[in-house]
Amino acid sequence: MASKILIVDDSQATVRLIQEMLQQGGYTSVGLNDPARLEETIDMERPGLILMDVVMPQRNGFQACRELKQHNLYKKIPIVFVTSKATTSDKFWGQQQGADGHVAKPFTSEELLKAVRRFV
């Protein structure tokens, strides 16, 4: 059985879309709309991969990724940004924060699943 995938995006519609794509690909996922509850959700759900938006209120994806990668309990969980922030500099900055991959919005199911298969 594949690891659970945590989807972090402030848009409920985006979370549902990604969950449907993952389900069709045979993956189990859980959605989170509040990045302030990220660590609490990780502790409860134990995901093997995190798909995270960058542009979110209060705590953006760059901040959240950097904080997770600096924490001993969370640093080994792969993080793939799924975001409209898709310039070369955005991707570079994401890598500098510790991101393991990047999927640009809008994306196809094939693009998303290809990124997921790299880590799960």
List average pLDDT for each run of 10 residues in the chain, which is 120 residues long: 87 98 97 96 97 95 97 97 94 96 96 96
What is the count of structural domains for the chain? 1
94: Cβ contacts below 8 Å, ≥ 6 apart: 54, 61, 62, 65, 81, 85, 102
Residue in the structure block whose two tokens are 């519609």: 13
Model confidence, pTM: 0.96
Which helix (H) or strand (E) segment is 38 a member of? helix 38-45
DSSP string, 49-117: EEEE-S--SSS-HHHHHHHHHTSTTTTTS-EEEEES--SHHHHHHHHHHT--EEEESS--HHHHHHHHH
CATH of the domain at 25: 3.40.50.2300
State residue 1's pLDDT score: 47
For residues 10 and 26, give the distance between their C-alpha atoms in angstroms, rounded to a whole number.
Answer: 24
Which range of residues forms the domain containing residue 54?
Answer: 5-117
